[in-house]
Amino acid sequence: MDRTVLHHCGLLLTLLCGMHVCVGMAQTSVIGRRPIDTYVLRDLVEGCGDFNQTLDQDAQGRILVGNSGCLARFDGAHWQAYNSDPAARYFNGVLARPDGRIFVTTERDFGLFEADDRGGLAWHSLLPSVDTSTVPFADFRFAVAGPDGVWLRWRPGLLLIREGRPALRVDSPANRAPFRVGTELWAAPAGRPLQRILVEGEQGRAEDIPGTESLAADEVMNASAQDPRKVYILMRSGQLWRFDGQRLHPMLDEATRQRWQERGPIAVLALRDGNIAIGFSRAAPIIVDPRGHLRESFEGSMAPDPVWALFEDREGSLWVAQNLVVRRIGRGGISSWGANDGVASVRELLRHQGRLYAAGGTGLTVLSETSAEQPARFTQVDPSVGQATSLTSVGPDLLFSSGRLRRLRLNPDSGELVEQ
d(CA 314, CA 387): 27
- Average pLDDT estimate for 114-118: 74
The answer to whether residue 253 is domain-embedded is no
Where a domain ends, among 216, 236, 252?
216
Residue 254 lies in a domain: no
Strands 52-57 and 389-394, by their bridges, are unpaired
Average pLDDT along the chain: 70
Q: Calculate mean pLDDT across residues 147-156.
A: 71
Of 56-65, 181-190, 411-420, which gets the smallest average pLDDT? 411-420
User: Binning pLDDT at 50, 70 and 90, where does residue 73 land?
Assistant: confident
pLDDT tens, position by position, 301-354: 777 778 866 777 767 777 776 665 666 777 555 454 444 444 556 667 777 777
Q: What is the reported pLDDT for 85?
A: 53
Cα–Cα nearest to 48, from 75, 76, 103, 10: 10
Question: Pick from 160, 191, 216: which residue ends a domain?
Answer: 216
Among 8-17, 111-120, 283-292, 388-397, the range scoring the smallest mean pLDDT is 8-17
Residue 259 covered by a domain: no
Q: Closest Cα to residue 9, out of 406, 388, 308?
A: 388
User: What is the number of structural domains in the chain?
Assistant: 2
Q: How many residues does the chain have?
A: 420
- DSSP string covering 148-216: TEEEEEETTEEEEEETTEEEEEE---BSS--EEETTEEEE-BTTS--EEEEEETTEEEEEEPTT-GGGG
Domain that holds residue 75: 1-125
Residues 48 and 145 in one domain: no
Answer whether 0.85 is exceeded by the pTM: no
Minimal CA–CA distance to 391: which of 420, 354, 359, 417? 359
Q: Which residue has the higher pLDDT, 7 or 73?
A: 73
Q: Which has the closest alpha carbon to 398: 417, 376, 379? A: 417
Question: pLDDT tens digits, residue range 253-308?
Answer: 999 999 999 999 988 888 988 999 999 989 888 999 999 999 888 887 777 778 86
Query: Residues 7, 118: one domain?
Result: yes
Contact 261, 219 (CB under 8 A): no
